Amino acid sequence: MPPVYDWWFLTKFKMPKIKIAPSILSVLPKVTSEASILSADLSKINREIKEVEKYADLVHVDVMDGIFVPQTTISSDFVKTIKTKVPLDVHLMVHEPSNSYLKGFIDAGAYSITIHEEACREPSKQIEFIKKNKIKAAISIKPKTSLDKIKKYLGMVDMVLVMTVEPGWAGQKFISSAMPKVAELRKLKPKLDIEVDGGINSYTARIAYDSGANVFVAGTSIFGKKDRVAAIKEILGSLK
């Protein structure tokens, strides 16, 4: 049963619109939220997206540099090949992304770009550059990173991503110990989009929702299923 304060908070403040983002990491490479790079077929990325785009608010694009996380995935050139009307939520698991690196994804059509607090010496510089280019900016923290690390940026960003797995691999188990941060963040910023990414399925999405999250990245639990539309509907159904 969720803590009493979660229910009190959810009844006192109106939650932002619930969103679900199938991630390109899933497709990643690929189009599915953390689901996977294991389950994604880059050779038919647009077909993969087409299958779910009517039921997804965002397409989550995971980008890894082999430095901040061990794996290396797609580049902005690959993102340019994605053909969809669904907004692209680009999640950079990248050490110190430069302005030119960020601009590559902006020019490729990113709707929003998320950077990691742990990967940037001064995240405000990247956030300011992203915002200057008229797209949404977000900041992410790993499951063990304190929320205190990003409180000074909350007035600058459009969204906070609280990782519910360690970044870098798809198909991991949901880390529930990240939920107190989601709950605290929701109390601090009632209208802020709060995203969770990692191990999200119909069961864990509900846990995250009850803690205050409203943006859900799901990869393996969508692209790992034969009926992907049904998988998305199942996740959304658990949030009603």
16 vs 76, residue with greater confidence:
76
Does 138 map to a domain? yes
Q: Which of 65, 193, 197, 210 is catalytic?
A: 197
Q: How confident is the model at residue 30 (pLDDT cuts 50, 70, 90)?
A: very low
- Which SS3 state, helix, strand or coil, does residue 33 take? coil
Does 62 map to a domain? yes
Measure Cα distances from 164 to 42, 52, 189, 204 in Å.
Answer: 25, 23, 19, 10
53, pLDDT greater than 90: no
Q: Which of 6, 62, 65, 193 is catalytic?
A: 62
> Which range of residues forms the domain containing residue 108?
4-235
- In this prediction, residue 56 carries a pLDDT of 84
13, pLDDT greater than 90: no
Does 102 map to a domain? yes
**Tally of CA atoms within 13 A in the half-sphere of 55 that contains its CB:** 18
8, pLDDT greater than 60: no
Identify the CATH number of the domain in which residue 138 sits: 3.20.20.70
- In this prediction, residue 25 carries a pLDDT of 44
What is the rounded average pLDDT of the residues 116-133?
98
Of all residues in the chain, what percent are helix, strand and coil, respectively (each to 5)? 40, 20, 40
40 vs 48, residue with greater confidence:
48
- In this prediction, residue 23 carries a pLDDT of 57
pLDDT in tens, 151-193: 999 999 999 999 999 987 777 899 999 999 999 999 999 889 9
Does 240 map to a domain? no
Note if 62 is an active site residue.
yes
Residue 35 · residue 53 · CB < 8 Å: no
Residue 225 · residue 231 · CB < 8 Å: yes
- In this prediction, residue 149 carries a pLDDT of 98
Q: How confident is the model at residue 72 (pLDDT cuts 50, 70, 90)?
A: confident
Residues of the chain above pLDDT 70, percent: 84
- In this prediction, residue 226 carries a pLDDT of 87
- In this prediction, residue 5 carries a pLDDT of 39
- Which region among 32-46, 72-86, 209-223 has the lowest average model confidence (pLDDT)? 32-46
- In this prediction, residue 49 carries a pLDDT of 87
What is the rounded average pLDDT of the residues 30-44?
45
Domain tally, the chain: 1
106 vs 56, residue with greater confidence:
106
Mean pLDDT, the chain, rounded, equals 85
